[in-house]
Amino acid sequence: MTETIYDALRESHEIQRSLCRRLIRSKPDSSERQQIFRELRIELSAHEAAEERYLYVPMLMDDMGLNASRHALHEHHELDELVEDLQAADDGRSWAAIAKQLSKKVHHHLREEEKKFFQVSGKILSETQKTRLAKQYRRDYTRMHKTLAAG
C-alpha cells in the first residue's frame, strides 16, 4: 500500500507524543531533560514547517479547508510560543507548569488534526495528491530536521 500524507504525519505525531511524555517525566536540572526538550523542539519545528507547506497550503486553496487550516496554523503558533516560554523559564516549578501546558496543547492539537482535520482534507485531496504530498512532506521534514539539529 502506498504511503499517504496522513501516514507520514501520524509517524511524527507519535514521536511528539512520546517526547512530551518523556519530558514531563524527566528529572529537573538533568541533561536528559535538556536532550528531550531539544529533540521535541526540533521535532515540532520540522513537522510544523513541512505540514504547513504540504498539507495546510493545499487545504487553504479550497473553501472547505479554509477554517480548519487557519485554526491549525493558529495552534502551531501557540505551540511555538510555549516552546519559547519553556526555553526562557528556569528549571523549576514554572518550567514544569509550562512543560505540562505544552504537552497538553500538543496532545490536543494532534488529536484534533487526526479526528477532524484529516477527515476534512481527505474529502478535498485526491488519492494521487495524498501520495505526492507524503513524498514532499517527508523530503522537507527530513531536510528541516537536519537543518535544525545542526543549528
- Alpha helix segments (H runs only) across the chain: 5-25, 31-51, 57-60, 63-88, 93-112, 118-124, 127-150
State what percent of residues in the chain have pLDDT above 70. Answer: 100
Q: What's the mean pLDDT in 65-89?
A: 95
| Full-model pTM | 0.94
CATH number, domain with residue 82:
1.20.120.520
Flag whether pLDDT at 76 surpasses 80.
yes
pLDDT for the residue 91: 73
Which of 21, 17, 39, 19 minimizes the C-alpha distance to 107? Answer: 17
pLDDT for the residue 139: 97
Q: Dump pLDDT digits (tens) for 27-69.
A: 988 899 999 999 999 999 999 999 999 999 999 999 999 999 9
Burial of 88 (0-12, 13-18, 19+ CB in 10 A): exposed
Q: How many domains does the chain have?
A: 1
Q: What's the mean pLDDT in 63-79?
A: 96
From the CA atom positions of the chain, what is the Rg in Å?
Answer: 16
What is the residue range of 94's domain? 5-150
Flag whether pLDDT at 103 surpasses 80.
yes
Spatial distance between the Cα atoms of 14 and 81, rounded to a whole number of angstroms = 21
Q: Can you read off the three cell numbers belonging to residue 74?
A: 493558529
pLDDT for the residue 1: 72
Q: What's the mean pLDDT in 93-114?
A: 95
Q: Can you read off the three cell numbers belonging to residue 13?
A: 505525531
List of residues 6+ apart from 71 with CB closer than 8 A? none
